[in-house]
Chains A and B, each alone.
Chain A
Amino acid sequence: MAADAVAGTTTPEFLSRMHVAHCVRCLRGLPDAAVEADCMRMMVAYYCLSSLDLLSGLDEKVSKDEKSDWITWIWSQYISDDQLAGFRGAPFLTGPSAAAQEPPHILMTYTALLSLAILRDDFSRLDRRRLIAFLKQTQLADGSFEPWLGSGEGGDVRIIYGALAICRMLNSWTGIDLQSTVAYIQACRAHDGGYGQTPHAEANGGATYCAVAALELASQPLQGKERDHTLSWLAHRQKDGFQGRTEKEQDACYSFWCGAAIALLGSADLVDRDSNAQFLMGCQFKLGGFAKAIGEFPDPLHTYLSMAALSIYPPSWGVPLSGIDPLINVRTETASWITEKLASSEPL
């Protein structure tokens, strides 16, 4: 325990080694209780890999061979036909004969690209044109995107964020109708200045991050009174950590969703970093990982988003985490790798 001389209280120790071990453990195997993640293992893998990236634990604790195995697995989720390409979340329909195949999914594609960048893959196997064609096919008349082709599900701001983050990573905006997407996001704006997941839905922190980030990705960032109103909504979500909705309990993941949105609006100086970190450190599990609230068990999502929030808002006593790009949600150096290796310099 390190003494906090100013406040006269003690600050909890950040358990780096425990967190690294916890994330490696999750990548090697999850308990049966995680069965609801069966169709989205790619996303779980990203949470763990990106945690390790922030902890600088990938070179230290994972062998080259194991990393190469992980890259192999991610590429084996790559689905490409003569028109479309993208990543599925896991081979949950696939038997040895591969007679059935899962369709690519926008959020699994977004997290697969980030994971490959974290592992420093060079993307030579990626067909960028077909990936853009996939996004184009999934776009709906209202400007949103369905998560996978033929899902019969409507879109929402989460899927929009994933689709636009892919466009940004590829540096290609020709495939989609951006104006209708922006109109959809605007329709999700609530009376209190936050954003809901779909039009008419209650404002919440996750949707507000997706909306703010998507508008930024679309190079149409919030401005003027709308920006001030949204910033105010976000700032009011801080208790010690952040709550996701007005008059609800705080939850570790909203330290990222609300905190990163505040940073994207250029006002990171408005967050009380030490109060936020005190709450998050209370969510730290003694065997590694972070839980959504004090006294609960950790999971990969809350583990990653807690560390991502601490990376944006390091407390006065410091945390051993690398810097993060809050827009595409990955370590700064990894974001540079994406710009270098994935972004196309010529129009697709």
Chain B
Amino acid sequence: MEFLNPEPPYVLFRDRPEWSDVTPIAQDDGPTPLAPILYSDKYKDATSYFRAIYVAKEYSPRVLDLTLEIIKQNASHYTVWQYRYRTLLALNSPLTQELHLLSKLLPTHLKSYQAWNHRRLLLLQLGKKSARGELAFAEIALAKDAKNYHTWVYREWLLCNFFAPAPAITTSPAAGEDAEPAIEELDEDGGADEEVWREEVVFTDRMLEDDVRNNSVWHHRFFVLFEGPRAKQSPDVAESEIEYTKHKIALAPNNASSWNYLRGILSHTRTPLPLLLPFARPYTLPQSAQSSLRAFADPGELPFLPGEKAQLPCVAALEFVADALAEEGKPEAGGVYDELVQRDPVRKQFWEYRKRSLQSASAPVGAQA
């Protein structure tokens, strides 16, 4: 990201008067380097000064200038990041300022593991009071790249690290004695934390409004509601999530993410697939059959029927129906796998393998779109 004001022309470190006391150390790559990089002068210059301060163990404000320049050129330089972090701590630098700087840098380095790791280290120092603002920052970063892996991992880390109960409080043998005060403390903080996790669900609603095919969001929603440290194992959550997903499938039937989410819930709650056969079946029929389906449908079921523009039959629905029939041990499953061979030819061998495994005693499981 460009700053609002144009930057002054770049000055090499060897031409900066405040560095004149330092003798740069050039890289020694030996006489026969393998895969050598034809470095720019700018990078060679900055890293030569870095080698010098690294050997001298200098932790000073100018080190922050130097390390920033190198990071801008090579955000994967993990030693430079680590040295910068140590310098910040040694100088007692205001870390919120560093966080602010990193917010400006990150949009151009979203794929840099090191940049996100640096941010995690800062947050560990700054503590929970800064963590809420970080959820907002992660959302801004996702506006730039809604599927960025590092951003989602960071968000999940924030939630687990700052808004989750301390793990394993009941496993300690002394828990009985200390149980009361511990629970009080947890409740006070826990109420606000619960709110953060509730907001997290609303956040995934927003993200899915933007792109119902963003699998990162579906994954995150599953984490929040079913797998994360504040997931509630209640049948109500599963039931309302199944309804929610049915709506999203009606919106865009050919979406592997929503079908996988649905199957994830069913598997997590040990709900048999055949329970959802009435929902899935209409999606296995051609568009020409839909008007009569709509005419005879119960009004409550209308929102879950495929839309008029849906591309049908839907492969993910065929797979769902085939697997549900297989789960019930019904031989009709074979015919549905045959149809999948026709409609999804790149997985011909896979569908034939599934059909063959019908013969074996155990029902096939865990298929997905």
Please determine whether chains A and B interact with each other in the same assembly: yes
Residues of chain A whose beta carbon lies under 8 Å from any beta carbon of chain B:
26-32, 34-41, 44-45, 48, 69-70, 72-74, 76, 90-100, 102, 151-153, 190-193, 197-198, 200-204, 225-226, 228-229, 232-233, 235-236, 238-240, 245-248, 267, 269-272, 275
Chain B 94-134 per-residue mask, 1 if CB under 8 angstroms from chain A, else 0: 00000000000000000000000100010000000000000
Chain B residues proximal to chain A, CB less than 8 Å:
25-40, 43, 47, 51, 54-55, 73-79, 82, 85, 117, 121, 147, 149, 152-153, 156, 160, 213-216, 219-220, 222-223, 226-228, 255-257, 260-261, 263-264, 267-268, 345-350, 353, 362, 364-369
Q: Please, could you name 12 A-B residue pairs with CB atoms under 8 Å apart, sorted by A?
A: A30-B38, A38-B39, A41-B34, A45-B34, A92-B79, A95-B27, A153-B117, A193-B366, A202-B216, A228-B366, A240-B346, A246-B256
Q: Choose among A31, A34, A235 the residue that contacts B347 (Cβ–Cβ < 8 A).
A: A235
Which residue of B has the minimal Cβ distance to A276?
A: B346
CB distance from A306 to the nearest CB of B (A): 18
Q: Which 10 A-B pairs have the closest CB atoms?
A: A229-B366, A191-B264, A95-B25, A69-B32, A246-B215, A202-B219, A73-B34, A192-B260, A247-B213, A235-B350
Of B32, B47, B73, B369, the contact of A72 (CB 8 Å cutoff): B32
Q: How far is the CB of A172 from the nearest CB of chain B, in Å?
A: 27
Contact yes or no, B215 A245, CB < 8 A: yes
Contact B28 A247 (CB under 8 A): no
Q: Is the CB of B35 within 8 A of A26?
A: yes
Distance between Cα atoms of A272 and B346 in the complex (Å): 6
If A30-B38, A190-B219 touch, whether A91 touches B43 (CB-CB below 8 Å) is: no
Within the complex, what minimum Cβ distance (angstroms) separates B10 from chain A? 15
Would A98 and B28 count as touching, CB distance under 8 A?
yes
Residues of B within 8 A of A93 (CB): 51, 54, 79
Q: Is the CB of B79 within 8 A of A39?
A: yes
- Chain A residues contacting B365 (CB-CB under 8 Å) are 225, 228-229
With A35-B43, A95-B26, A238-B346 in contact, do A198 and B153 touch (Cβ < 8 Å)? yes
Given contacts A96-B28, A247-B214, contact A202 B74 (CB under 8 A): no
Q: How far is the CA of A267 from the CA of B26 in the complex (A)?
A: 52
Residues A32 and B34 in contact, CB atoms below 8 Å apart: no
In the complex, chain A residues whose CB is within 8 Å of the CB of B32:
69-70, 72-73
Q: Is the CB of B347 within 8 A of A272?
A: yes
Q: Are A70 and B346 in contact (CB under 8 A)?
A: no
Which of A29, A41, A92, A201 touches B156 (beta carbons < 8 Å)? Answer: A201
Contact call A204/B149, Cβ cutoff below 8 A: yes
**B347 and chain A: residue at smallest CB distance:** A235
Q: How far is the CA of A192 from the CA of B215 in the complex (A)?
A: 11
- Point out the residues of chain B lying under 8 angstroms from A153, CB to CB: 78, 117
Tell me, rounded to whole Å, the shortest Cβ–Cβ distance linking A42 to chain B. 8
Give the interface centre of B28, B35, B43 by most chain A CB atoms within 10 Å.
B35
CB neighbours of B38 from chain A (8 A): 29-32
In contact, A30 and B346 (Cβ under 8 angstroms): no
- Contact among A102, A235, A248 with B147 in the assembled complex (CB-CB below 8 Å): A248
Which of A34, A70, A98, A232 gathers the greatest number of chain B CB atoms within 10 Å? A232
Question: Please, which residues of chain A bring their CB within 8 A of the CB of B30?
Answer: 72-73, 76, 91
